[in-house]
Amino acid sequence: MLFRNNGKPGNTGTRLRIFAAAGACSLIMTLSLPLAQAAGSVEPYVEKGNYKLSCEYGQYAFKIDPFSYGTHTDTKTNTSFIIKKGEYEKSFNWEIHYGGVTKIAVKGGPDTNLYHHEYPVDSGSGLYAPDNKGGQRSDVSHVTFCYEPAKASIEVTKKCLEQDQNKDYNSFTARNTVTIKNTGDIPLQKIWLEEKLDNCTIVEINGYPHEQKLYKDQPALLENITLDNKDDYATLIISCKTDDPNVVNHVQVKGETKYGKYVDSYAMSDPYQQCKFVYQPGVTVEKTCVDDSVHLQAVTSESMKLLAVRVCPSITIYNNGNESLKDIKVTDASIPLLAEGYILKDVALYPHTEINLAEWLAEHDQYSTSDSLCYYPDVPRGHDGYPLPVLDETIEYDDRYAPDTAAFFNQVKVVATGYKSYTEVADDDTTYSYDEENHQWVAECPLCAPCPECDKDTEY
- Is residue 394's pLDDT more than 70? no
The answer to whether position 451 is within a domain reads no
The answer to whether position 456 is within a domain reads no
Give the end of a domain, one of 94, 124, 149. Answer: 149
Residues 56, 62, 63: CA angle, nearest 5 degrees: 125
- Which tens digit of pLDDT belongs to each residue from 91-148? 999 999 888 999 999 999 999 999 999 989 989 999 999 999 888 999 999 999 999 9
The answer to whether position 459 is within a domain reads no
- Is residue 457's pLDDT more than 80? no
The answer to whether position 449 is within a domain reads no
State whether 362 and 231 are in the same domain.
Answer: no
Q: What pLDDT, on the 0 to 100 scale, is given for residue 418?
A: 94
Q: What pLDDT, on the 0 to 100 scale, is given for residue 186?
A: 86
For 41, phi then psi, to 5°, come to 60, 35
- Is residue 38's pLDDT more than 90? no
- Is residue 27's pLDDT more than 70? no
State whether 18 and 129 are in the same domain.
Answer: yes
The answer to whether position 48 is within a domain reads yes
Indicate the pLDDT class of residue 41, thresholds 50, 70 and 90: low
Q: What pLDDT, on the 0 to 100 scale, is given for residue 296?
A: 78
- Answer with the residue of higher pLDDT: 128 or 402: 128
State the average pLDDT over residues 221-238: 94
Q: What is the Cα–Cα distance from 360 to 316, expressed in whole angstroms?
A: 10
Q: What is the Cα–Cα distance from 127 to 40, expressed in whole angstroms?
A: 12
State whether 387 and 312 are in the same domain.
Answer: yes
The answer to whether position 227 is within a domain reads yes
- Is residue 11's pLDDT more than 50? no
State the average pLDDT over residues 432-458: 69
Domain count, the chain: 3
- Is residue 358's pLDDT more than 70? yes
Give the end of a domain, one of 149, 178, 198. Answer: 149
State whether 139 and 201 are in the same domain.
Answer: no
State the average pLDDT over residues 372-396: 73
- Answer with the residue of higher pLDDT: 308 or 26: 308
The mean predicted confidence, pLDDT, of the chain is 83
The answer to whether position 263 is within a domain reads yes
State whether 296 and 438 are in the same domain.
Answer: yes
Q: Which domain covers residue 241, as residue numbers?
A: 154-274
- Is residue 355's pLDDT more than 90? yes
Give residue 126's region: left, alpha or beta (phi > 0; psi -120 to 50): left
State whether 342 and 301 are in the same domain.
Answer: yes
- Is residue 166's pLDDT more than 60? yes
State whether 65 and 98 are in the same domain.
Answer: yes
Indicate the pLDDT class of residue 256, thresholds 50, 70 and 90: very high
State whether 195 and 124 are in the same domain.
Answer: no
State whether 340 and 419 are in the same domain.
Answer: yes
CATH of the domain at 218: 2.60.40.3490
Give the end of a domain, one of 229, 246, 274. Answer: 274
State whether 370 and 244 are in the same domain.
Answer: no
The answer to whether position 346 is within a domain reads yes
pLDDT > 90: percent of the chain: 57
